[in-house]
Amino acid sequence: MKNDENKVVDTNNTEEKKPSLSEILKAEEAELKAKKKAEKAKKKGKVAYDINGNIIPDLNVKHVRGIESKKSWYGFYFVLPWIIGMILFFLIPLISSLTYAFSDVVPEDGYMETTWVGMENYKFIFQNDDTYQLNLLSSIGDFFTQMPIIIIVSLILALILNSNFKGRTFFRGVFFVPVIVATGVVMGLLTQSYGGNGAIIQLSSSISTDAYSVVGTGGGMDFSELLNSLELPEEITAQLNIMITDIFNTIWTCGIPVVLFIAGLQTIPSQLYEASKVEGATAWEEFWYITLPSIGQTLLLVIIFTLIELLTKADNPIINQAYDQIKNVEYGLSSAMLWLFFAIIGAITGLIILIFTKTCLKRWE
């Protein structure tokens, strides 16, 4: 009886008494603490308790326990072969080449003897070798002038080749086959890039670089020879030669972007175009509001691919310079040269990706 009375009195008291300011603050503080605790626990993946020892349910967390979480680990089997390969053939060599860039490297039997020299390699490059800086500037400048042309020309080609017209298959063949066929030796033989000073076209993976040096008198097309035989004034011949080389370079570099663009264009659902036709959109509007936004990801892919093609192709002056250093067994120097170059490429790419995703892709979503 007594207890019961007390309780009643107690409750009455609390109801009557207004909570003081300090009490409110205390309560708020406790609440905040509990919240923080819950957040912390969420990050760790544990369950959070409030002050009373009850579990705080977190409504934002997806419940990934059970089958779902097992499945997400199952995903690792999918990436595992690739990860192993990546570590073996990319990450380990990458780290060792980074150490080479800051060391003096002496090849021993089966391994490399490295002594740490800090920035000595870079000092040497910048003090004793003017060509490196010039090459660096020229290859980056070339890249910024060629990139827009290649992207625009290949997008136009892809759009034309993706539209419906008579002989589409034939024209696709005309544009792709030479590009697909001409790699490495075939490329060298076709254009005789080292035979004469004619059309110098190089679009090959780095592996096949040695092909060029061995291709001597292939018997492929030599434009300068052909132009000379026309017996035009010398200046015109020279100008034509440069022009033809430029056009060739553009077309042959465009091949892969065109293929990529077409693959991207193929994935745009035709319903979108049907809808735009119903709405009465012009071809121009159709391009800006449907085609371009739909291939945003592909465009990014093409930009990156072109960047890699342009900056890492075999006739890049920096790469040639570094390769010469490899031949001179100056592994440290060559690594240093390439690392600086690729750091710059990386920065440019990162910037492009950032700007592109922040502006274009966001707006197009």
Q: Per CB under 8 A, which of residues 4..43 are in contact with another protein? A: none
What six digits make up the tokens of 323?
């390769």
Q: Which stretch binds another protein (CB under 8 A): 13-21, 27-35, 126-134, 300-308?
A: 300-308
Which range in 31-39, 123-131, 232-240, 304-312 contacts another protein by CB under 8 A?
Answer: 304-312
Please pick, from the candidates 47, 61, 93, 351, the single residue that binds another protein as defined by CB under 8 A: 93
Q: Which of 38, 48, 97, 202 binds another protein (CB under 8 A)?
A: 97
Near another protein in 187-246, by CB under 8 A: 187-191, 204-211, 214-221, 225-226, 229, 244
Residues in contact with another protein, total (CB under 8 A)? 115
Applying CB under 8 A, which part among 15-23, 31-39, 75-83, 132-140 lies near another protein?
A: 75-83
Give the nearest distance from C-beta 18 to another protein in angstroms. Answer: 50
Identify residues 254-273 at the interface with another protein (CB under 8 A): 256, 259-260, 262-264, 266-267, 269
Residues 45 to 64: which contact another protein by CB under 8 A? 64
The binder of another protein chosen from 75, 118, 233, 280 (CB under 8 A)? 75
Closer to another protein by CB, 19 or 107: give it.
107
